Amino acid sequence: MRKKLLFTLSVIIILSACQNSTNDKNLDPILGSRSELLENVTNNIIIPAHENLKDELSNLNTKAQNFTTNPNTLAFSELRNAYVQTYISWQSVEMFSIGKAEEIDYVKSMNTYPCSPVRINNNLESQSYDLNQATWISWTAQGFPALDYMLYGIDVDSNQILNYYIGIDGIKYLNYLNAIVSQMLSNTDLVIEDWQTNKESFIASDGNTAVSSLNVLTNDFIYYYEKGLRANKIGIPCGVWNGFQTYEIGIEAYYREDISKHLTLASLNACKNFFIGKGINSETSGTSYGDILAENGAANVNTDIINGLNQAEVLINNLDNNFRAQLLQDNSSMLNTYDALQDVVPLLKVQMLNALTITVDYEDSDGD
């Protein structure tokens, strides 16, 4: 479990303004580079990633409404396709659990998996639920995993699932489907508004303290790589912390099983692009962690991180598109992939943070 102080962007900015860097290059080796990195990742990665997600969610919302108006096979197929594209887009956003996103438990409400079919069905039957509740019970019945269940997991094939939406209780299913999508879109709007309002001050918070922008952002990135990618997508399903007993239900997109590898690759690619400073909507790279490492005599750390990420990508690409099938057929390949992802963790969490003089701001309890 992560133990981390919760700060809104405004609190980070206020506290950091009182504790800026020392103006002494000997004491602060990345003096002057923080704001350049923050400007690049904020304007070219973080905000565009959220805006892309909003566009995909808006399209998903439209498809859900079209399906509600006329629940037929074509509309259902279009809704499913929109869900997949939106889930892929989410992979570039999840690592940024900062500011309003942390305040409203954005990541937990969007992508807590496995979902709970029991809780989803209880909500469907009762038609009494509050998706704003910040509880595990609520989180496991909403977001992408809940959509995964409602679009692919209610029954054994597409025609039978469609029957739930056009049958006598169809309005219950349609209402809950739309409630989930509406909640996702509403929360995304709140997070985007927070970034747009505070981005200039966030960039200007270029000190080296626990609440300075780069320190918080870097810790969030490493935490996501270590937990959101390495552990959640690979390590937990293949049983790293469970005596190597596979945990099939723990796969992301469990019901639409053939996109699990695609989501993992999108996540890894997002991590790599963030590290190298590559813009979301362009091939251009700005000031990056690698640049700062190289400028401060740690070019080898940058090289090792890139090589490690590339090796992990190779192993992920070699997995079955369907992680459920991979676990059953050859779990050793999943375990090897976990090891490759793990190899990068100390490079980021120890060597890179040491070179940047940034302290880890979270504790974990998964035994690794």
Question: So what's the pLDDT on residue 366?
Answer: 57
Whether 169 is covered by a domain: the verdict is: yes
Question: So what's the pLDDT on residue 292?
Answer: 93
Question: So what's the pLDDT on residue 51?
Answer: 98
* Residue 248 · residue 257 · CB < 8 Å: no
Whether 1 is covered by a domain: the verdict is: no
Question: So what's the pLDDT on residue 26?
Answer: 53
User: Which CATH number covers residue 157?
Assistant: 1.20.1420.20
Question: So what's the pLDDT on residue 282?
Answer: 84
Question: So what's the pLDDT on residue 14?
Answer: 47
CA torsion sign, 226 to 259 to 150 to 178?
Answer: positive
HSE-CB for 93 with a 13 A CA cutoff:
28
d(C-alpha 285, C-alpha 300), whole Å: 20
* Residue 235 · residue 48 · CB < 8 Å: no
Domain count, the chain: 1
> Nearest-5° angle of CA 134, CA 135, CA 141?
105
Question: So what's the pLDDT on residue 25?
Answer: 52
Whether 365 is covered by a domain: the verdict is: no
pLDDT (tens, 9 = 90+) of the chain, 368 residues, equals: 444 544 455 554 444 444 444 445 555 556 578 899 999 999 999 999 999 999 999 999 999 999 999 999 999 999 999 999 999 999 999 999 999 999 999 999 999 999 999 999 999 999 999 999 999 999 999 999 999 999 999 999 999 999 999 999 999 999 999 999 999 999 999 999 999 999 999 999 988 888 999 999 999 999 999 999 999 999 999 999 999 999 999 999 999 989 999 999 999 999 999 999 999 988 888 999 999 999 889 999 999 999 999 999 999 999 999 999 999 999 999 999 999 999 999 999 999 999 999 999 877 655 44
Domain containing 323 equals 9-356
Candidates 17, 26, 1; CA nearest to 205 is: 17
Whether 367 is covered by a domain: the verdict is: no
Candidates 229, 222, 214, 220; CA nearest to 350 is: 222
Specify the residue for token string 């690409």.
317
Whether 344 is covered by a domain: the verdict is: yes
Question: So what's the pLDDT on residue 283?
Answer: 80
Whether 345 is covered by a domain: the verdict is: yes
> Nearest-5° angle of CA 20, CA 33, CA 200?
65
Residue 196 tokens read as 């747009």
Alpha-helical segments (H) within 205-322: 213-223, 260-276, 289-295, 299-317
Number of other CB atoms surrounding residue 355 within 10 Å: 20
Total length of the chain: 368
Whether 177 is covered by a domain: the verdict is: yes
Whether 2 is covered by a domain: the verdict is: no
Alpha-helical segments (H) within the chain: 9-17, 34-41, 47-69, 73-90, 100-103, 106-111, 117-126, 136-139, 143-148, 158-166, 170-204, 213-223, 260-276, 289-295, 299-317, 323-329, 331-346, 353-356
Cis peptide bond N-terminal to 114, omega within 30: yes
pTM: 0.92
